[in-house]
Structure 1
Amino acid sequence: MKLTVVGGGSTYTPELIDGFARLRDTLPIEELVLVDPAAERLELVGGLARRIFARQGHPGRIVTTADLDAGVDGADAVLLQLRIGGQAAREQDETWPLECGCVGQETTGAGGLAKALRTVPVVLDIAERVRRANPRAWIIDFTNPVGIVTRALLQAGHRAVGLCNVAIGFQRKFAGLLGVAPAEVHLAHVGLNHLTWETGVRLGGPEGENVLPKLLAEHGESIADDLHLPRPLLDRLGVVPSYYLRYYYAHDEVVRELRTKPSRAAEVAAMERELLAMYGDPALDEKPALLAKRGGAYYSEAAVDLAAALLGGGGSPYQVVNAFNKGTLPFLPDDAVIEVQAAVGPAGPAPLPVPEPDPLFAGLIANVTAYEDLALEAALRGGRDRVFRALLAHPLIGQHAYADALTDQLIAHNREHLAWA
């Protein structure tokens, strides 16, 4: 089995490598290719990757290259973890929206749209090259904004599945609180990428006992603290929202916070410098503890599980993924990309039936889906008016003066990445 990671020079990559090494019986990789144009970073990450494999006795071969076509040639699966523009672009995504009093964040609002516009054309070019190299290869997208990027891939006919670590993080958290193995916890997870709610937590499978009321009653404070939301809100909702819902449920509070502290991008950039220095130590042969603060917890386990299921070698029968709606949520178009539990196998993901969400959640899902439609149109076709329409549709913006000002800011800060600008 050959697996390729595009963006393999990311500081995230040792987390992925550690999972590949630990879970080699689930996903028996013979050749792992790390592709990245940043030669210096790739050399550091690749060196540590080889040492991790050697320490854990993994027999697979690790190859590093800047040549995308060579890297994807013959790959059975290609995992995408790109950041077009790097942390510098992320820094901008998180700051200029604040000038209008709107949240600055890399996956939602104006910053999230900027990232989508930079990313979608690049990902589609990569996917076409993957298709030429091996039409049967699966593309696993971990690149944000996952929902929009995955929809772009699927609409272009690629064999693609979107992946996020929010669900597996909740699964692990709830399993720990309940004192059971993570595999025993089945989430009733519904929504869009970075806009999801856990409407049930079932033990043993989709038909198991729903212990969400018990979790909220006994551990509501701990769950609320993790989300930075008040416990009474969770009790009134009767569900557990993802932490990204804080940008909607406490928008103005979040904006005030963001205006008074360094951006997350600045924190991550400093962390990356420290991590890369560690990766250069030839004595280091395991992922450093600092990597846990970088984000992406359990990312490797989710990726291994998904790749194994898609390639027919095992993996969990049910996994939370981003896939076409196909009637799962009847108030959305079939070609909307939703994030739900799905049965996953070599034919791809098949979303499981879910009860229609409460109108409180369904309304926001429908609104953000409309924004994502317009965001993808702007990413594919360009143009100031298309950017404006997407921003005006976003529930975190929604005022024409803000949308106008943010459109100008977005184009000014991203001109080098926008072929049409």
Structure 2
Amino acid sequence: MKRFSITIAGGGSTFTPGIILMLLEHMDKLPIDQIKLYDNDEERQAIVAGACEILLKERAPEITFEATTDPEIAFTGIDFVMAHIRVGKYAMREKDEKIPLKYGVIGQETCGPGGIAYGMRSIGGVLEIVDYMEKYSPKAWMLNYSNPAAIVAEATRLLRPNSKILNICDMPIGIEELMASILGLSSRKEMEVKYYGLNHFGWWFDIRDKQGNDLLPALRKHVSKHGYVTADKSKQHADQSWNNTFAKAKDVQVLDPMTLPNTYLKYYFYSDYEVAHADPTYTRANEVMAGREKFVFGECKKIIENQTAEGTELHIDEHASYIVDLARAIAYNTKERMLLIVENNGSLLNFDSTAMVEVPCIVGSNGPEPLVMGEIPRFQKGLMEQQVAVEKLVVEAWHEQSYQKLWQALTLSKTVPSASVAKAILDDLMEVNQEFWPKLH
């Protein structure tokens, strides 16, 4: 049986140990020959890699392991690239969140000005990895879950139209796990969903069990009262800010009670509420740096110090097992049904055919086949058209190095109140992103 070679791009990420533990847990489904870590920050990656090497030696000594900053070594002889890069790291995420808040605009990682700033940093990084993969392993596939996924997906559509890249997001998967818990099901895989939207910007409109029974009414009733907060507390997030987001879904759902919303829509529908409840001195980036980042790097250093992973508190990112499902679908032509970010091309009948939409797809060895979700209602269509225009303008601004188009993108974002505020935010963001953005003119 073939064993697969995998490169994890963003090897120094706090998510890397959890991904590796998850891959080990699913070796029966996806046998692995080698794992390589690739990052352009050697120092940061060395800590994660040092711990992962010990962990693999103890739990799966048959897997070859290597960490490198050399693209040729990283991308030669591989089957899959699993990419979760963060250009500028959490230090820049903190600026993405805090600069807009100075102007009374939501500061968020993937939504509004923060997401646009992050997108301008991410595009070049993701395209670089695609190019390395295609140069050194032209038959490999890239499974990309780097944020902001919508902007990155539009960039690869426009600028690398023939690349073998699949863009996927774990947020709908996480919400579907909460739905399964609400219904008392053992897994989200017991549900078959219909969903349409953009990344971090979508709606479920049909959910059934494998026998075809309609599960939507029971879910709608729960969400209208509790959002996605579940009785099973183990399903809730460790960070209170996330549980507030799950609860806020009930206010988002009110706008279209017949559907179930993606949680991120709160930033567009209730941006005034979000700004009022944000701490401009301590944002989500600070929470992550003080929480997950400190914990993961602390655990990795402990493993290196003790030269054993015995008793480590690093845990499997079971939530990320969708990555194995995706790799398996490509490797074994399983025809798994999954939500992916793909070119619309007729999936949503009354929507821009070139828009990168998030819809259910059947995934096999030749990639995804989007399923037709039909026509979408006017309310969602209007919102989505505005947001797609923002995403396309950001990619064009990056490609053409156009200040004008980036200003237009920020002005058009539903989270920004005026062109003058958009300009003030843009100028501040430009100042701190000189090292990462193309030079705009």
TM-score by length of 2: 0.88
Q: Give CA deviations for 1:102-130 in whole Å, capped at 9, x if unaligned.
A: 11111111111111111112221221121
> 2:435 maps to what in 1?
416
**Cα displacement (A) at 1:5:** 0.9
Q: Give CA deviations for 1:332-387 in whole Å, capped at 9, x if unaligned.
A: 33221111110001111111111322222121111101111101101212121121
Within 2, Cα distance between the matches of 1:387 and 1:376? Answer: 9
**Cα displacement (A) at 1:21:** 0.6
What letter is aligned with 2:259? V
Pick the aligned partner of 2:290 from 232, 255, 270.
270
Within 2, Cα distance between the matches of 1:10 and 1:380? Answer: 27
Q: How does 1:206-221 map to 2 (within 5 A)?
A: 208-218=212-222, 220-221=224-225
What letter is aligned with 2:186? A
1:258 maps onto 2:282 in alignment? no
**Cα displacement (A) at 1:411:** 0.8
Distance 1:22 1:416, change over 3 A: same
Distance 1:24 1:201, change over 3 A: same
Q: Is the 8 A contact 1:197 1:240 kept in 2?
A: yes
Q: Give CA deviations for 1:213-253 in whole Å, capped at 9, x if unaligned.
A: 11222464343545232636535522221111110121101
**Cα displacement (A) at 1:284:** 3.1
Distance 1:306 1:102, change over 3 A: same
Within 1, Cα distance between the matches of 2:249 and 2:84? Answer: 33
Within 1, Cα distance between the matches of 2:311 and 2:155? Answer: 36
Q: What are the ranges of 5 or more consecutive residues in structure 1 without an aligned counterpart?
A: none
1:142 maps onto 2:145 in alignment? yes
What letter is aligned with 2:191? V
> 1:242 maps to what in 2?
262
3-state secondary structure, aligned to 2:282: coil
Q: Is the 8 A contact 1:278 1:284 kept in 2?
A: no
Pick the aligned partner of 1:189 from 185, 189, 195.
195
3-state secondary structure, aligned to 1:310: helix
| Count of residue pairs brought into register by the alignment | 413
Distance 1:110 1:392, change over 3 A: same
Q: Is the 8 A contact 2:98 2:281 kept in 1?
A: no
Distance 1:31 1:322, change over 3 A: same
Within 2, Cα distance between the matches of 1:268 and 1:91? Answer: 10
Q: Is the 8 A contact 1:35 1:65 kept in 2?
A: yes
Q: How does 1:221-370 map to 2 (within 5 A)?
A: 221-225=225-229, 226=243, 227-229=246-248, 231=250, 234=253, 237-259=257-279, 262-271=282-291, 272-282=293-303, 283-285=308-310, 288=313, 298-312=318-332, 314=334, 317-370=336-389
Question: Identity percentage over the alignment?
Answer: 28
Within 1, Cα distance between the matches of 2:268 and 2:151? Answer: 19
> 1:113 maps to what in 2?
116
Give the stretch that moved more between structures: 136-145 or 267-276.
267-276
> 2:234 maps to what in 1?
none
**Cα displacement (A) at 1:50:** 3.3
Within 2, Cα distance between the matches of 1:6 and 1:146? Answer: 15
3-state secondary structure, aligned to 1:417: coil
Give the stretch that moved more between structures: 352-361 or 222-231.
222-231
Within 2, Cα distance between the matches of 1:287 and 1:360? Answer: 49
**Cα displacement (A) at 1:302:** 1.3
Distance 1:197 1:93, change over 3 A: same
